[in-house]
Amino acid sequence: MTPGGSLSTTVECRWWAPGPIPEEFVTWFATLGEVDVEATRVDRYLLDEGHPDRNAKVRNGTTCEVKVRTRCEPMLVAGGSGWVERWNKRSVPWPSALGDGATLVEVVKHRRLVTIDGCQVELTEAAIADETWHSLALEGDDNPPGSTALEPVVARLAKAGLGRFMHLTADRSHGYAQHLLTMFDAGESRTVTSASTQFRPSRPIHSPTSDDSDDVG
């Protein structure tokens, strides 16, 4: 990949569940604050076999964002647990950044966003191959370092009843890179070009381990 653009650092935690977003989840999310409902967009993610610590996507067909995970640590709060990932990210030229023969997976997203105590909270419905998923994610600055940047917001969401709609467990907590690697056979060179392409699970979703948490890649 070609380096370029300014570097930024975020801490993120995401949980996944199969199926579309339940309507009552959308209603509950609207009680958290002023919600920004984005237009549906299509992102294309690089399927990088064996590297859930690297994440590259072409956003809406115009911008390529490359992220490298530098840390992954557990977060325990009232009502659940998850994995907090620290990412360094930058924008790079597209299409030259990913090189020839890159395997890309198309993800059709519909996102709802709300800001709580300086943290972006995202509720997303994503069409990946012929499957629909939804996820709840938090993103904040790495200040204070690590999971402490997100824990107060997660605790607030849990107190407000998030657990009624999303199981906040570590086995459901991971970013897009790892989620896609568990869904597809990353060893096969192919490009997924539409949401109707056949979904072929390869192995169960698992939580990050200490073996990959410190590997910058």
Do 56 and 98 form a contact (C-beta atoms < 8 A)? yes
Q: Is the pLDDT of residue 87 over 50?
A: yes
Q: Alpha-carbon distance 126 to 178, whole Å?
A: 15
Mean pLDDT is lowest, of 31-40, 158-167, 190-199, for: 190-199
Mean pLDDT of 53-74: 87
Comparison of pLDDT for 187 and 13, the residue scoring more: 13
Quick one: pLDDT band at residue 78, thresholds 50, 70, 90?
Answer: confident
Comparison of pLDDT for 75 and 191, the residue scoring more: 75
Q: What is the pTM of this model?
A: 0.80
Q: Alpha-carbon distance 2 to 15, whole Å?
A: 30
Q: Is the pLDDT of residue 101 over 60?
A: yes
Do 167 and 15 form a contact (C-beta atoms < 8 A)? yes
State which amino acid sits at residue 101: G
Tokens describing residue 8: 């930024």
Instruction: Please state, for a pLDDT cut of 90, what percent of the chain lies above it.
Output: 55
Q: Is the pLDDT of residue 176 over 90?
A: yes
Full set of structural domains in the chain with CATH: 8-128+144-199 (2.40.320)
